[in-house]
Amino acid sequence: MSMFRQLWLAIIASTLMALAGSLLVSMLSARTYLESQLSIKNTDNATALALSLSQSNPDEVTVDLVVSSLFDGGHYEVVRVVNPQGKTMSERVSTDTDLGAPSWFAHLLPIDAQPGQAQISSGWKQFGTVTLVSQSRFAYAALWKSAQEMVLALSLAGLAGGYMSSLVLRRLRKPLDAVIDQAQAITERRFVTMEEPSVPELKKLAQAMNVTVARLKAMFDDEA
């Protein structure tokens, strides 16, 4: 395998690792943010629901009507109210399996938000506890969209980096090819000098080859 091919493989591997690392960190940060926002939303909505029920002298029929009305909006996975003894007074659980993102993506980056809980009071007595879990499909949809945008942006950055790397390798290859041509010319007793490149390391190589060519030419001239 040629040196330039090895360099290309090293550049591709390092670029892919950098892009994958950036994507992973971004997705984990976005998931953490969405989980925290869902948890805050669950707590706020559960508190608001409990306060609303507490102010209306609740009974089981009222609680069931309010829970049903809230659940029918389609924004919650679970809405549950239990009495102080732990018996369920009203419960609605979503059966919608649409996650808003591919199942493999949801499996790789599961969103686990804390459910919201709040106490319902009736006068000075505790009437029950409301538990509320918001729909996570909106968070999955936002995370999936963010992942697609990140992949697109990182792919464009990778292509730009690959193009720049090809320009650099082409710039390095040109003086090396000139050195090879100069060495082949020596075997044919043609003594040519090469232009010194701007790269410091290759410039030293070109200077050494030009000095060698000059000395060989002088040696053959003396023998002639």
- The predicted structure's pLDDT at residue 224: 67
Give whole-number Cα distances, 8 to 22, 139, 148, 162, in Å: 21, 39, 27, 9
The pLDDT tens digits of the residues spanning 91-126 come to: 888 887 777 788 888 888 888 889 999 998 877 788
Query: What's at 49, amino acid-wise?
Result: L
- Is the predicted pLDDT of residue 4 greater than 70, yes or no? no
pLDDT band with cut points at 50, 70 and 90 for residue 40: very high
All structural domains of the chain with their residue ranges: 3-156, 164-223
The pLDDT tens digits of the residues spanning 153-169 come to: 888 888 888 788 778 77
Is the model more confident about 96 or about 82? 82
DSSP per-residue letters across 3-61:
HHHHHHHHHHHHHHHHHHHHHHHHHHHHHHHHHHHHHHHHHHHHHHHHHHHHTT---HH
- Rounded mean pLDDT, 41-70: 86
3-156 classified as CATH 3.30.110.200: yes
- Is the predicted pLDDT of residue 1 greater than 70, yes or no? no
